[in-house]
Amino acid sequence: MPKEFLKEPNLEQHVITVKTAGPEDWRDYKEIWLEAVEKNPEAFSIDADPEDVRRETYRRDKHWKAHLKDPNAITLLLKDNKDTKGLAMAIDKSEIQRGLWRIRHVYISPAIRGQHAGEKLMVEILEKIKERGGKQASLNVMDNPEQIPALKLYEKLGFENKGKYEEVIHGKKKGRYDMLKNL
Ligand SMILES: CC(C)(COP(=O)(O)OP(=O)(O)OC[C@H]1O[C@@H](n2cnc3c(N)ncnc32)[C@H](O)[C@@H]1OP(=O)(O)O)[C@@H](O)C(=O)NCCC(=O)NCCS
C-alpha cells in the first residue's frame, strides 16, 4: 500500500441535503416520524399517554402515503448522505387566514444535532412556503426545558413569540408558545 494512502485520515463525507417528499418516500417519512415520537414525544405533545405514541406505530401504509399526496401540505426530509435524519412539514391554513401556513413536526436525529441541520431544514421550509404564496408561518413550541433548542432556533430565524397558552392533555396541564413569522 502506498505510504501516502496510509497517511490519509479516514474522513467520512457528510452531504446534507433537503428533499421535498412525494408519495414514493412514504417509508422514509414513516421511519423518521416514528423515530421522532419515540425519542422526543414531549416535543409533539404526545408524551402524556403512551397509547398516543403506540397509535402512530400502528398506522396503515395508506396513512403515510395519503399525507404525502396532500396538496395543502409540504413535507421535507433532511438527508445525511442517503440516510433520513430530519423532518419538517407545513400545512396551508388559508381557511383560517389567507397566506397563513402552520409548521409542524420539526425534528433532527440526535446524532447530527448542533450542526445547523435544523436551521437548514427550517430555512428551506420557509422558502417552500413563500414559493406557494405563503405570507406568514406559525408554529407552537411546548413550554418545557427540552424545547429550548427549538425555541432558540425559531427566535434566530425571526419568529416572534406571541405568548403562552395552557391546555390540558390527558389530565396533564401543558403550556405552549405560539410563534409567528412574516414572510
Ligand atoms: C430543535 C431541533 C430541530 C434543532 O436542530 P439542530 O439541527 O440541532 O439545530 P441547529 O444546529 O440548526 O441550531 C440552529 C440554532 O438553534 C439554536 N440552538 C440549537 N440547539 C441549541 C441548544 N442546544 N441550545 C441553545 N440553542 C440551540 C441556536 O440558536 C443555533 O444557532 P447557533 O448554533 O448559530 O447558535 C432539534 O434539537 C430537535 O430535533 N429537537 C427535538 C425535537 C423538537 O424539539 N422539535 C421542535 C418541536 S417545536
CATH number at residue 130: 3.40.630.30
DSSP the chain: --HHHHHS--PPP--EEEEE--GGGHHHHHHHHHHHHHH-GGGGT--S-HHHHHHHHT--HHHHHHHHH-TTEEEEEEEETTEEEEEEEEEE-TTTSTTEEEEEEEEE-GGGTTSSHHHHHHHHHHHHHHHTT--EEEEEEESSGGGHHHHHHHHHTT-EEEEEEEEEETTEEEEEEEEEEE-
pTM higher than 0.85:
yes
% of residues, the chain, pLDDT over 90? 77
Q: 112 or 46: whose pLDDT is higher? A: 112
The pLDDT of 73-95, averaged and rounded, is 97
Query: Which of 16, 108, 143, 144 for mutating ligand 1's site (highest number of atoms within 8 Å of CB)?
Result: 108
Whether the per-residue pLDDT at 3 is higher than 70: the answer is: no
pLDDT in tens, 88-124: 999 999 999 999 999 999 999 999 999 999 999 999 9
Query: Which of 119, 151, 154, 177 for mutating ligand 1's site (highest number of atoms within 8 Å of CB)?
Result: 119
Domain span including residue 120: 3-182
Question: Ligand 1 centroid vs 41 CA: distance in angstroms?
Answer: 16
Question: Ligand 1 centroid vs 118 CA: distance in angstroms?
Answer: 6
pLDDT in tens, 115-156: 999 999 999 999 999 999 999 999 999 999 999 999 999 999
Number of domains into which the chain is organized: 1
Ligand 1 touching residue 141 (CB < 6 A): yes
